[in-house]
């Protein structure tokens, strides 16, 4: 069995570019000849923090690319010459392609493409007792100021 050594600086730029252009990690790896295994790639990602950060950025870029593809798919005209069943099949195929891209984009970059609205309110809890004590001190200070005049 021959063991192939992959050059880190040769393999990963190609893989990350393919991912940013919309490909999965598996598909990106198949573009390298000979192809590194998925397990090899995952081990590299686990053991190299800088690579992991670059990979996460490429995945976010993939989400953006998938979102752009939604517009391209929506603007795709129906091919000429399709009969009734052919038209129906084409529409179903396009719907599937759109749905998969919407789902993937929403999972890869949920804050931007997710369907869940975040309506959380960030606030600091206040103490009613502390607020009343502060108000009472201001009243006492105001009375002293008035009495001193």
How do residues 21-61 score in pLDDT, each as one tens digit? 999 999 999 998 888 999 999 999 999 999 999 999 999 99
pLDDT tens, 55-98? Answer: 999 999 999 999 999 999 999 999 999 999 999 999 999 999 99
Residue 129: inside a domain? no
Q: How far apart are CA 74 and CA 53, in angstroms?
A: 32
Report if residue 147 sits inside a domain: no
pLDDT at 66: 94
Task: Supply the CATH number for residue 63's domain.
Answer: 1.10.10.60
Domain-located, residue 99? yes
Number of domains in the chain: 1
Domain presence at residue 37 = yes
Determine the structural domain holding residue 34 and report its residue range.
Answer: 8-115
pLDDT of 102 higher than 90: yes
31 in any annotated domain: yes
Evaluate if residue 146 carries a pLDDT over 60: yes
73 within a domain of the structure (yes/no): yes
User: Average pLDDT for residues 133-144, to the nearest whole number?
Assistant: 87
Evaluate whether residue 53 is within a structural domain. Answer: yes
Assess if residue 124 is contained within a domain.
no
Provide the total of helices (H) and of strands (E) in the chain, helices listed first.
7, 0
Q: Which residue has the tokens 């309506």?
A: 119
pTM, entire model:
0.67
Q: What is the pLDDT of residue 131?
A: 83
């Amino acid at each position: 069995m021959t063991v192939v050594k992959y050059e880190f600086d040769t393999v990963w730029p190609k893989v990350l570019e393919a991912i940013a252009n919309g490909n999965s990690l598996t598909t990106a790896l198949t573009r390298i000849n000979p192809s590194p295994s998925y397990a090899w790639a995952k081990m590299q990602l686990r053991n190299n923090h800088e690579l992991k950060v670059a990979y996460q950025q490429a995945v976010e870029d993939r989400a953006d690319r998938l979102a752009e593809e939604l517009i391209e798919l929506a603007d795709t005209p129906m091919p000429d010459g399709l009969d009734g069943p052919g038209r129906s099949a084409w529409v179903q195929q396009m719907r599937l392609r759109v749905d998969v891209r919407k789902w993937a984009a929403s999972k890869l970059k949920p804050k931007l493409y997710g369907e869940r609205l975040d309506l959380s309110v960030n606030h600091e809890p206040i103490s009613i007792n502390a607020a009343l004590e502060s108000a009472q001190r201001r009243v006492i200070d105001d009375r002293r100021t008035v009495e001193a005049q």
